[in-house]
């Protein structure tokens, strides 16, 4: 029990609590700016499990499928037509379906870069669902705890170019991902995060 309490204490000491949401110091400190020319959108086509989905997102994926379907690759369409717009991970949570256990079924390619067919339909004004919030927030991942949600920075080699670009332009991860953070938690939450960071730096 003592070791568990010590571990929890260490976790809380390395995170900021904003309206019941734990925010990792990495999200505040790490430079980051996606460089699609460098990574080619590899986060959409590498991995052994799909992106996490909120239960309420399932209906949007299903309702809008006839619209964004036209942008998807044939293998993705075949996968969704056969198995549906969502899958389950090892713990039974909802995730996006994968093609051959690798690429997201909703991917398409533009000039050799992997992009999201759902987002393409959104940007074209055809639907009002941008894409799953877990994809929008990436490389921030949400861990759901009994009393909190914890935001952590998922680091991997594919995003090295984004780290270098963020450092060059002095852009921290929390600012690069302002839009999805506001989408998820609201403008007031984000402004409180900024105040917490400002207080930390003074």
Write 47-51 long-range contacts (CB < 8 A, 24+). Answer: 47/98, 47/102, 48/101, 48/102, 49/89, 49/90, 49/95, 49/98, 50/87, 50/89, 50/95, 50/96, 50/97, 50/98, 50/104, 50/105, 51/95, 51/96, 51/104, 51/132, 51/134, 51/135, 51/138
95 neighbors 58 (Cβ within 8 angstroms): no
Task: Supply the DSSP string of 147-175, one letter for each residue.
Answer: S-EEEEE---GGGHHHHHHHHHHT-BHHH
- Say what the pLDDT of residue 199 is: 82
Distance CA 32, CA 75 (A): 32
The mean of the pLDDT values for the chain is 91
Phi/psi at 113 (nearest 5 deg)?
-105, 130
Condensed to tens digits (0 to 9), the pLDDT of residues 49-94 reads 899 999 999 999 999 999 999 999 999 999 999 999 999 999 999 9
Q: What is the DSSP letter of 51?
A: P
Assess whether pLDDT exceeds 50 at residue 6. no
Condensed to tens digits (0 to 9), the pLDDT of residues 118-167 reads 999 999 999 999 999 999 999 999 998 888 899 999 998 889 999 999 99
Which of 12-16, 138-142, 197-201 is predicted least confidently? 12-16
Give the count of beta carbons closer than 10 Å to the beta carbon of residue 69: 17
pTM of the predicted structure, to 2 decimals:
0.89
Determine the average pLDDT of the residues in 23-36.
95
């Amino acid at each position: 029990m003592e070791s568990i309490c010590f571990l929890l204490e260490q976790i809380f000491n390395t995170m900021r609590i904003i309206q019941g949401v734990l925010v990792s110091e990495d999200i505040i400190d790490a430079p980051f700016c996606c460089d699609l020319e460098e990574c080619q959108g590899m986060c959409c086509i590498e991995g052994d499990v799909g992106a996490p989905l909120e239960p309420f997102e399932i209906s949007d994926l299903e309702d809008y499928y006839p619209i964004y379907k036209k942008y998807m690759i044939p293998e993705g369409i075949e996968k969704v037509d056969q198995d549906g717009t969502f899958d389950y991970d090892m713990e039974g949570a909802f995730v996006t379906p994968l093609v051959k256990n690798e690429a997201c079924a909703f991917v398409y390619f533009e000039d050799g870069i992997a992009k999201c067919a759902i987002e393409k339909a959104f940007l074209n004004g055809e639907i009002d669902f941008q894409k799953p919030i877990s994809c929008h927030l990436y490389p921030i991942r949400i861990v759901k705890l009994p009393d909190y949600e914890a935001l952590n920075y998922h680091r991997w080699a594919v995003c090295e170019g984004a780290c270098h670009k963020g450092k060059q332009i002095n852009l921290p991860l929390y600012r690069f991902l302002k839009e999805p953070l506001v989408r998820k938690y609201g403008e007031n939450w984000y402004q409180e995060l900024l105040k917490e960071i400002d207080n930390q730096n003074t």
